[in-house]
Amino acid sequence: MNLRSSGTQPVRLEQDVVLARQTARKLATECGMRLIDQTKLVTAVSELARNTVVYGGGGDMDWQVLEDIGRVGLRLSFRDQGPGIPDVRLALTDGWTSGGGLGLGLTGARRLVDEFDLQTAPGEGTCVTITRWT
């Protein structure tokens, strides 16, 4: 698996969610993803970026364009130094929310991508990494 390009951009404010989505859409188009895959990935980015802003108190988004045999992928990480998630199993339950949302953001994002990884500990922030292949 080769790394074609990578980068980082801040996700601190509500407006950064829009910028994160735009970056993801641009990258997904460059990877040659179909419209449906693009839409799924961008929606997942929207959910995770908003979680970073609302629950993580702001953080960063790292992106990597990966190359594998016969396929191209986009990997995105959302890092924050927020309070972390005390109960990961609960957080990954449909309909559960610690805020005022629908409680489908994190689980929905997981269903929208090919690979999903969640690293978190109370007080140590959260890092969610998603990958979608063409």
Partner 1 sequence: MAALSSSTLEAIQAQRTQLLAEWTRDLEDKGATRNLKEQELQQQTQEFLQLLISSLQSRTGENIGTAGWDEIRLFLEKLSNSRALLGHDSQQTASFIFTLKGPLFALLQKHFSDEPATLAEQLWVVSELLDALGMHTIRTFQRSREAVIKRQQEELLELSTPVVKLWDGILALPMIGTLDSQRTQMVMESLLQRIVDTGAEIAIVDITGVPTVDTLVAQHLLKTVTAIRLMGADCIISGVRPQIAQTIVHLGLDLQGVTTKANLADALKLALSRLGVSTVKAG
Binding site for partner 1 (CB under 8 A): 14, 17-18, 21, 25, 35-36, 38-40, 42-43, 46-47, 50, 94, 101-102, 104-105, 107-108, 111-112
Residue 39 or 67 with smaller CB distance to partner 1: 39
| Gap between the terminal Cα atoms of the chain | 14
What is the token pair recorded at 132? 């979608």
Q: In terms of C-beta density within 10 A (0-12 exposed, 13-18 middle, 19 or more buried), how is residue 113 classed?
A: buried
CB contact at 8 A, 65 and 31: yes
Question: Would you say 83 or 103 has its CB closer to partner 1?
Answer: 103
Is the Cβ of residue 4 or residue 111 nearer to partner 1 in the bound state? 111
Pick between residue 33 and residue 66 the one whose CB is nearest to partner 1. 33
Q: Give the angle subtended at the CA of 130 by the CAs of 15 and 92, to the nearest 5°.
A: 90
58 DSSP β-pair partners: none
Residue 18 C-beta: closest distance to partner 1, Å: 6
For residue 29, give every residue at least 6 positions away whose Cβ sits within 8 Å of its Cβ, in sequence order, or none: 38
Kindly state the DSSP code that residue 122 receives in the 8-state scheme: T
